[in-house]
Amino acid sequence: MKHWWWKFLAVALLLIASIAGLWVPLSPALVHVSPSRIVPGEVVIDVTGYNTRFADGMRTYLVNDSQYVCPIRVDVIDATHARIVAEVPAGMRASMTDLIVQGMTYPGAFFTDSLGEGIESGACAPTPSKLDLTGLAFAFPNRSILYESIRNLFFHVPMWFTMIALMGISVWRSIKGLGSNSLDHDRAAVSAVHVGLVFCGLGLATGAVWARATWGAFWTNDVKLNGAAVTALIYLAYLVLRGSIPDAYKRARLSAIYNIFAFVLLVLFLFVVPRLNAIDSLHPGNGGNSGFNDLDLDNRLRVIFYPAVAGWVLLGVWMVDLRTRAARLTEQMDR
Amino acid sequence: MRTAEILSILRLEVALDLRQRAAWGGMLLYVISAIYVCFLAVKGGLGVATWNALFWIVLLFAAFNALARSFQREDQGRQLYLYTLVDPRSVVIARSLYNAGTMVLLSLLSLLFFLLFLGGDVLEQANIPQFLLAVVLGGIGFAAVLTLISAIAARAGNGLGLMAILGFPLVLPMLLAVMRASKLSLDGVAWSVTSTYFLGLILLDVITITLAWVLFPYLWRD
């Protein structure tokens, strides 16, 4: 029991993170507004929400440069659909008008024509305490483009964390193996690479699906994606190198040297080269896209994300441990 | 590792290469043929981006071809003899330096042939010293990575095939950085923009050669 506790911890963390990650609802948001352009006169606006609870009498208004346009009529069709009729005045100041329904903002909802010196602000202005979060206690952020796919954060990102951790373990065992004459370290190093490649494959698969959903293509020419491809190639080459050397001790030494050399260059490639051309990346955390620090990874995501990372890393270490022991037993039986 | 050792190994390499002139001739012919194929395939009128890409692809393959010989031209026994005479670290540093020299020479020659066959239009706006610096640093970088890889492939007893598999992913960081730097210098961008790339390249070169120096002593033993 003393040595097992972390395996129970891994399972518990993974279960919590996966179940909560899939179960927790997205916070309500406006996902679609039509038309996209308003001209002075009576305008009929169709609003579609997601996870919303539209109800009669909900507070609805248009905002243009902190001046408000109040609707004439709001018809609630169901909990996620509503039709708003408003009399749009001429002479608004800003070229984009936001729509606000039940405290949820759809920023830049309308291109606005007939700009001017400003209008008389409507009386439906909100009270300063604007937190009108429609009663959902714990929910994930509902971001346009990402929507439900934001849950992939708990699966895609931990794959890469785990892979880097396992490759780090592998290179650590390779360094120790070069200084000693036993094959133990070599067995652990190659097991870590095998398991790391599994996580690399899972990271690529989850990433490709996510990229298709958000960027429109399974694969793009992006520094992060190139880094992932190079990582896969390096460790597949490592396995090819091992396969081409029959002598166990020579294999251990040569592959350890390649492992160390490749890992250092890989770290440079993943963490230094992207800094050199940081401007042209779509991936969060690169090229002006917000990483998961400022907006996206708010505390509601962090609560699930960190247990997910810890759980997957521990699971990876456990898998390496099992593989190493199995390899040692196989060798003993062959002897 | 001593300077005298490195110098004498460098002399040995030069003497060997002068004796086997066919090897150098073969390398040159390889590069010229590749450039001629490019010329036939695109028939002039290349944009800067394509010119740059073709140039570095040709150089990359030339580097693999040229540097594969580095540790494969002598048999195991002779290598062992060499390592008993001098510190193995001197050997790897000397060979890295020699290969870097080879690559720089080869890069400049391919540049000459590129300009000859594919025209010099791309250099119109280029910042020539910057571009030459990119070519030199790129050549040194390829040599730095591929010297150790060539040694590993030779020890594994599997020639060019293994070297390509092992080397390609490792050369990629260097290749991407240098292609970027050379593209910017062909566009005539100021030093203040490109200096990051050149510093990055120098850093990559230095780290790679240091790694080779650290790891090589473990490689030659049986």
pLDDT exceeds 70 at position B167: yes
Contacts of B180 in chain A (CB under 8 A): 276-277
Question: Given an 8 Å threshold on Cβ–Cβ distance, is A265 in contact with B170?
Answer: yes
* Three-state SS letters, chain B: CCHHHHHHHHHHHHHHHHHCHHHHHHHHHHHHHHHHHHHHHHCCCCCHHHHHHHHHHHHHHHHHHHHHHHHCCCCHHHHHHHHHHCCHHHHHHHHHHHHHHHHHHHHHHHHHHHHHHHCCHHHCCCCHHHHHHHHHHHHHHHHHHHHHHHHHHHHCCCCHHHHHHHHHHHHHHHHHHHHHHHHHHHCCCCHHHHHHHHHHHHHHHHHHHHHHHHHHHHHCCC
Residue A285: predicted pLDDT:
57
Question: Given an 8 Å threshold on Cβ–Cβ distance, is B152 in contact with A240?
Answer: no
Contacts of B172 in chain A (CB under 8 A): 226, 230, 269
Contacts of A221 in chain B (CB under 8 A): none
Cα-flanking dihedrals φ and ψ of residue B86, to 5°? -130, 165
**Is the CB of residue B208 less than 8 Å away from at least one CB of chain A?**
yes
Interface probe for A, chosen from B218, B221, B222 (most Cβ of A below 10 Å), is: B218
Question: Given an 8 Å threshold on Cβ–Cβ distance, is A233 in contact with B168?
Answer: yes
Contacts of A176 in chain B (CB under 8 A): none
Higher per-residue pLDDT: A209 or B77: A209
Instruction: Judge whether B103 and B65 are in contact, CB under 8 Å.
Output: no
Contacts of A269 in chain B (CB under 8 A): 172-173
Residue B1: predicted pLDDT:
60
Cα-flanking dihedrals φ and ψ of residue A86, to 5°? -140, 150
A217: buried, middle or exposed (CB in 10 Å: 19+, 13-18, 0-12)? exposed
CA distance B36 to chain A (A): 29
pLDDT in tens, B3-47: 888 888 889 888 888 888 888 888 899 999 999 998 888 876 778
Residue A221: predicted pLDDT:
79
Interface probe for A, chosen from B180, B211, B216 (most Cβ of A below 10 Å), is: B211
Residue A90 DSSP label: S
Residues 6+ apart with CB under 8 A from A76: A54, A55, A56, A58, A82
Residue A287: predicted pLDDT:
46
Instruction: Judge whether B81 and B204 are in contact, CB under 8 Å.
Output: no
CA distance A227 to chain B (A): 9
Question: Given an 8 Å threshold on Cβ–Cβ distance, is B155 in contact with A250?
Answer: yes
Residues 6+ apart with CB under 8 A from B16: B73
Rounded Cα distance, B8 and B4, in Å:
6
Q: Which residue of B has its CA nearest to A177?
A: B218
Using the structure block, give the residue that is written with the tokens 């080879």: B102
CA distance B164 to chain A (A): 9
* Per-position pLDDT tens, chain A of length 335: 678 889 999 999 999 999 998 888 888 888 889 888 888 888 899 999 998 888 887 888 888 888 888 888 889 999 899 999 988 888 888 888 888 888 888 888 888 887 788 777 777 766 555 455 545 567 787 777 788 888 888 999 999 999 999 999 999 999 999 988 788 999 999 999 999 999 999 999 999 999 998 888 898 877 788 888 999 999 999 999 999 998 889 999 999 999 999 999 888 888 777 666 545 556 665 544 445 544 455 677 888 889 999 999 999 999 999 999 999 999 889 87
Contacts of B162 in chain A (CB under 8 A): 240-241, 244
Write the single-letter amino acid at A115. L
Nearest to A224 by CA among A239, A240, A210: A210
Q: What is the ipTM of this complex?
A: 0.89
Lowest mean pLDDT among A246-255, B26-35, B123-132, B134-143: B123-132
Question: Given an 8 Å threshold on Cβ–Cβ distance, is A272 in contact with B197?
Answer: no
User: Does residue A292 sit in helix, strand or coil?
Assistant: coil
User: Does residue A230 sit in helix, strand or coil?
Assistant: helix
Contacts of A256 in chain B (CB under 8 A): 218
Contacts of A262 in chain B (CB under 8 A): 169-170
CA distance A268 to chain B (A): 8
DSSP A92-128: BSSSEEEEEETTEEEEEEEEE-SB-S--PPPTTPPPS
**Is the CB of residue B162 less than 8 Å away from at least one CB of chain A?**
yes
Q: Which structure tokens are listed for A9?
A: 């911890």
Residue A77 DSSP label: E
CA distance A175 to chain B (A): 10
Residues of A with CB under 8 A from a CB of B: 178, 226, 230, 233-234, 237, 240-241, 244-245, 250, 253-254, 256-258, 260-262, 264-265, 268-269, 272-273, 276-277
CA distance B42 to chain A (A): 24
Contacts of B208 in chain A (CB under 8 A): 265
| B148, B162, B204 member nearest A241 (Cβ) | B162
Instruction: Judge whether A319 and A195 are in contact, CB under 8 Å.
Output: yes
Taking the mean position of all CA atoms in its chain, how far away is CA A118?
Answer: 41
Residue B104: predicted pLDDT:
92
